Each structure stands twice: as structure tokens, then as C-alpha cells.
Amino acid sequence: MASETDVVPAITTRLDEAEGFFSRAISKGLGWARKYSLFQYPFVTACCGMEYMTVAAARYDLDRFGAALPRFSPRQADLLMVVGTVNVKQGPILRRIYEQMADPKWVIAFGVCASSGGFYDNYATIQGIDRIVPVDVYIPGCPPRPEQVLDGIMLLQRKIQDQTHRLIESRPQPLPAGPGREPGAKAG
């Protein structure tokens, strides 16, 4: 026999249902804007650099994807393109560059050496940059064709557009302790 507490309905809401129309519209607008404004930072270390230059040239034209001009300061970039082999000595440098980038940030592993170490199975080569930084898109190939790179950029754009963007909530901040006030008292 079930008691009354066993049959009490629980009120549950899903995040998508609890989110309002206005915040969903703003989130879609932010996703669309971020999708077409990728500021890339190229971390080019090896032979895939030639393919990277080919993709940036006029025939394949990264400009139509909003990722045309590379930024050579990580503080101005939100897309890190790791192109080529990364050695163990370069690992801390790559991590520092990733930490200096603007939020939100994305990473593309360009080529098989950046994705999995490639055919360099030795102690000096990092077997995939995902051991150092989180990777959003892997582009396979040695070297990858420009069409593969464009597919990877379009995949990243879809991923960026489908993200949910949170709006900043305004919460009352605690007042600093002072004469006549308890520490941690809420404002207003």
C-alpha cells in the first residue's frame, strides 16, 4: 500500500522549457554572430603549414567563413589552429597560448600529427594535442586537403551556432564588512 508521500507529484522543468523566448532569441543571435566572426591564431609548426597557406589563399578563401585574417596575438583570437607536429618542449608554450586566448575559445587540430602524433611514434612528439588543450574539431590527413579544412571550419561553425549562450544574471552582491554591518550581509 502506498502512502501519500509516495504519490506526490514532483515538479520538474527542463532547461529548454524553463528558458524564455527572449533569452533563446538572444542566444541564437549570439551564436550566429560568433559563427561568422572567427579570429584565428595559427600555431604552425611543420609541413601542414603549406596547406594552411593554400586554404587562406584566394582559391579556397577563408574570408567567406568569417575566418580570413589570422591574429598573431592570442589575446585577440578565439580560434586556435594547431597545424603540424607538436614536440614535448612546445607543449607548455601551446598551453600558455591557449590560456591567453579570449573566451569563448575553440581549437582545431589540423592534420594527423596534431590529431594523433602521426607517424612520429617517439618520446619527443606529443601523441595528439588533446593531451594539452581540449580540441573541438579534428581534421585528418597528411597533409589534409583544403576541402577537408573547409569542412572542419563548417563543422566548427555549426557547433558554435548550436551552443547555448547564458545571459549574466544580476544578483545582489554582499556588502563589505564595516561599522554596524555584519560580514556577508546582502545589499538592498
Is there a domain that residue 112 lies in? yes
**Among candidates 103, 110, 127, which has minimal Cα distance to 49?**
110
Is there a domain that residue 72 lies in? yes
For the beta carbon of residue 27, count every other beta carbon within 10 angstroms: 17
Q: Say what the pTM is.
A: 0.71
Is there a domain that residue 188 lies in? no
Is there a domain that residue 182 lies in? no
Eight-state DSSP code of residue 43: E
Is there a domain that residue 181 lies in? no
Element (H, E) at 40: strand 40-44
Is there a domain that residue 66 lies in? yes
Total number of residues shown for the chain: 188
pLDDT digit string, tens, across residues 139-153: 988 888 888 888 888
Is there a domain that residue 51 lies in? yes
pLDDT band at 170 (very low <50, low <70, confident <90, very high): very low
Please compute the mean of the pLDDT values over residues 28-49 and round it to a whole number. 82
pLDDT above 90 covers a percentage of the chain that reads 7
Q: What is the pLDDT of residue 185?
A: 54
Count the domains in the chain: 1
pLDDT band at 175 (very low <50, low <70, confident <90, very high): low
For residue 114, what are the CA distances in angstroms to 21, 52, 86, 94, 144?
Answer: 41, 13, 7, 12, 11
Full residue range of the structural domain in which residue 88 is found? 36-161
At 54, which CATH number? 3.40.50.12280
DSSP 106-175: EEEEESHHHHH-TT--STTB-S-GGGTS--SEEE-SSSPPHHHHHHHHHHHHHHHHTSPPPPPP--PPBP
Is there a domain that residue 178 lies in? no
